[in-house]
Structure 1
Amino acid sequence: MDHIRAAIDKARAERNANLGRPVSGTARSIGQDGNQVDATLSDDWQALSVFDVVPKQLRRHRIMTHQAGPLATPFDVMRTNLLHEMRKNNWRRVAITSPGMSCGKTTICLNLAFSLARQYDIRTMVVELDLRRPSIASRLQLEGVNFSRVLSGEDSAAHHMRRYGQNLAIAASQPTPNSAELLQGLAAAHQIDEIEARYQPDVMLFDMPPMLLVDDTMAFIDQVDAVLLVGAAESSTTQELGRCKQALESRTNLIGVVLNKCRYVDPAEQYGYGE
């Protein structure tokens, strides 16, 4: 696998060199610059159309982190662990996927995003690449967005991204045919690089399709620094998680595995801190 990894690293270095940005490993560390960004970056970020959230709508979709509190605490802990690993390795791009359907990967992704948004010195961008069954636009009530048109080069990124507050941007998609071919194409990789170079997010979260149902995730996986794997208790089997883990570790970095939908939680983890 060494020659494959060398080819991937070479391709990424060439893309970064063409964009005039540092290669992975020398990129700006998360949060080190705080809010001190250049005027051009600020203008691009501020120019994004703004959306607001409806707390009742968020709760209906189990998104609990737009405000601090006991329900947000588990995701805040996950956020802290994620940021630690990303800072340590100078990573910026993290994909979130699952073995199969209904594991809650999109819910995890959005909860992490809103938790990160409460870190005022970190800019976070969510990119929805589950192009077969996208759901972020409906969950957040975003209108007029279809990020797949950006990936294909048909439209500009600014038209299909929305900003929440000062430091969270969401790129939501609509159902898209030939999604694996689109994600594997050089045009999509170039568009992601261009967006990162222009908007300079500290964290990019990519909501990917389930790994064992379609090949979309593995088609795009070389474009990210690490992957968070989400399994569902009593649904995802150890064999499924093992297959995903093996496939991911052969191509990228596995930052962690989250077991979602647990019915029973250790009482020691429910001690009510913050209540």
Structure 2
Amino acid sequence: MEKIQSAIAKARAERVGGSQPGTTALRTDAVVASSPAGDVATAWQALPALTLSSRQMERNRIVAFRGGSAATGVDMLRTRVLQQIRANNWHRLAITSPSAACGKSTLALNLAFSLARQPDLRTLLLELDLRRPSLGSMLGVSRDISFSGVLDGTRQFESNAMRYGDNLAISTNPGPSRNPAELLNSLHVPDVLADIEARYDPTLTIFDMSPMLVSDDTMAFAGQVDCVLLVAAAEATTIKEIDQCERELAAQTNVMGVVLNKCRYMGPEYGYDYDY
């Protein structure tokens, strides 16, 4: 673990030119007045309820669904994320990875359910991995909902999102979308997102993005978010890939950090051995 962390730090230090992770990014979202508290609560309660199977959550390693000791690692990440967004007044977080199979969607779901266990927070989880969407199948969603349809204006968010509890809403996709990069780069996307935020007033909106090195989808959307978490897979993702992704992301937004996933060997000082 320490060797990997040191290698990432060294790669960052050796960069010449370009923006560094953590550089403040400027967003030009449309300014929309927030809805009154009563209207926000009504909007949340109007969303269709999402019923989940504990067995399916366990099978898909959504350890934060129930909480407890198994979710400690995710809850620690939640606390660090909350500290950063509160310190910087951030509201939009993208989660991506250099390549496929790093576990970014699993991490996005775990973080969302961990946040949902804090009743004073409202969280939106929106699926923007439009080439290989997986959130719906992981959750066992059977409803015909499509967040890509919300983005292109053919569907309404209130009928294409589901509410878990009182403070977590999730919008997924039934299958791959056509021309995802063009959709994510559309001029009307900022207005769609601003309208959703105005009506539901989320503490944090999490976007599950495509892997960075397989398409230009994430880079087409990166300017719309306040910060990004990069998920790397132990023994698979290279330091060069992490460095490349951090460079490209830092040119458009703030890189909150790198999450090392799929660690099979952890030192005893960490106290846990999770693979989520």
SS of alignment partner, residue 131 of structure 2 = coil
Letter in 2 for 1:182: L
1:67 is aligned to: 66
Q: Relative contact order (alpha carbons < 8 A, sep ≥ 6): 1 or 2 greater?
A: 2
- Say which of 29, 33, 37 aligns to 1:20: 33
Residues 271 and 170 from structure 1, CA distance in 2 versus in 1: closer, same or farther, beyond 3 angstroms? closer
Q: Give the direction of change, closer, same or farther, for the CA distance of 1:10–1:98 in structure 2 (3 Å limit).
A: closer
TM-score by length of 1: 0.87
**Residue of structure 2 in register with 1:148 after alignment:** 148
Which stretch shifts more, 76-85 or 171-180? 171-180
* Amino acid in the other structure paired with 2:158: A
SS of 2:69's equivalent? coil
Please tell me whether residue 169 in structure 1 is matched to residue 199 in structure 2: no
Cα distance between partner residues in 1 of 2:162 and 2:28: 30
Equivalences for 1:43-58 in 2 at 5 Å? 43-58=42-57
For 1:140 and 1:271, the matched residues in 2 are separated by 25
For 2:26, which of 9, 26, 45 is the aligned residue?
9
Corresponding residue number in structure 1 for 2:22: none
Q: Tell me which stretches of 4 or more aligned residues in structure 1 moved more than 6 Å.
A: none
CA distance in 2: counterparts of 1:135 and 1:271, whole angstroms: 27
Cα drift, residue 20 of structure 1: 3.3
Matched, 1:101 2:100: yes
Instruction: Tell me which amino acid in the other structure corresponds to 1:185.
Output: S
Other-structure match for 1:41 = 40
Contact 1:183 1:219 in 2 (8 A): yes
SS of 1:122's equivalent in the other structure is coil
C-alpha distance in 1 between matches for 2:218 and 2:45: 31
Query: What is the DSSP-based 3-state SS (H/G/I as helix, E as strand, rest coil) of the residue aligned with 2:93?
Result: strand
Partner of 2:191: 190
Structure 2: unaligned runs, 5 residues or longer: 1-17, 20-24
Per-residue Cα deviation, 1:100-122 (whole angstroms, up to 9, x for no partner)? 00000000000000000000100
Q: What one-letter code is carried by the residue in structure 2 that aligns with 1:136?
A: L
For the Cα contact (< 8 Å) 2:108–2:206, is it kept in 1? yes
Instruction: Give the deviation of 1:199 after TM superposition.
Output: 0.5
Counting aligned pairs with the same residue, the percent is 47
CA-to-partner distance for each residue in 1:189-239, whole Å, 9 max, x for gaps? 211111011110001000000001100000001100000000000110000
SS in 2 for 1:212: helix
Q: Give the conservation status (yes or no) of the 8 Å contact 1:86–1:92.
A: yes
RMSD of the TM alignment (CA)?
1.6
Q: Could you tell me which residue of structure 2 aligns to residue 255 of structure 1?
A: 256
